[in-house]
Amino acid sequence: MQTLPVEFDRKGWHFKQLKREGMLAIYLRTKPSMDGQSTIESYEVIEIRIEKEKVRFERIVPEHERYPGDEEWGKYGWPYRSFKDAITKLKALALCQPEPKTAVFIAGEGKDSTPPVKDARFAVAQTSQENGISRTKSA
């Protein structure tokens, strides 16, 4: 699968990956100012998504990682003026990322028939249900 490039240009901006943790990344976005004397820069925290193989304009486009599109900002991408703020967001998102799948659950097999919790956000809700407590935790 094709991964996101470490550096690329798009819509007049230059992007450079500064940090990547799993499917999260911080990119530095720069371009020369209008007067050409300085550089405009910001940081973008993104959740990298996988786009499945598809046919586009009679060509096969293989499965690849992708940067959020313009309409996906606020859901899969967040702009920041400082690197410190971008790191804070990356760390917060990393806490909510589901753990990688490490085991296959087959219903009815083994000692415990409860599937493993794949996302920490739902651990409290599942434990509460198992103990007969009816409360939900908002993420």
Mode of pairing for the β-strands spanning 59-61 and 7-10: unpaired
The pLDDT assigned to 56 comes to 84
The pLDDT assigned to 110 comes to 44
Give mean pLDDT, residues 15-25.
Answer: 95
The pLDDT assigned to 54 comes to 85
Answering whether pTM is above 0.85, one says no
The pLDDT assigned to 62 comes to 86
pLDDT at 21 over 90: yes
Instruction: Dump pLDDT digits (tens) for 32-78.
Output: 988 888 999 999 999 999 989 888 899 998 899 999 999 999 999 99
The pLDDT assigned to 99 comes to 61
Q: Is the dihedral of CA 73, 2, 7, 11 positive or negative?
A: negative
In this structure, how many other beta carbons lie within 10 angstroms of the beta carbon of residue 22? 12
Instruction: Dump pLDDT digits (tens) for 93-119.
Output: 999 877 654 334 444 444 444 444 444
3-state secondary structure the chain: CECCCCEEEECCEEEEEEEEECCEEEEEEEEECCCCCCEEEEEEEEECEEECCEEECCEEECCEEECCCHHHECCCEEEECCHHHHHHHHHHHHHHCCCCCCCCCCCCCCCCCCCCCCCHHHHHHHHHHHCCCCCCCCC
By the 8 A CB rule, do 48 and 4 touch? Answer: yes
Instruction: Dump pLDDT digits (tens) for 78-97.
Output: 999 999 999 999 999 999 87
- Could you tell me the residue ranges of all domains in the chain? 7-96, 98-139
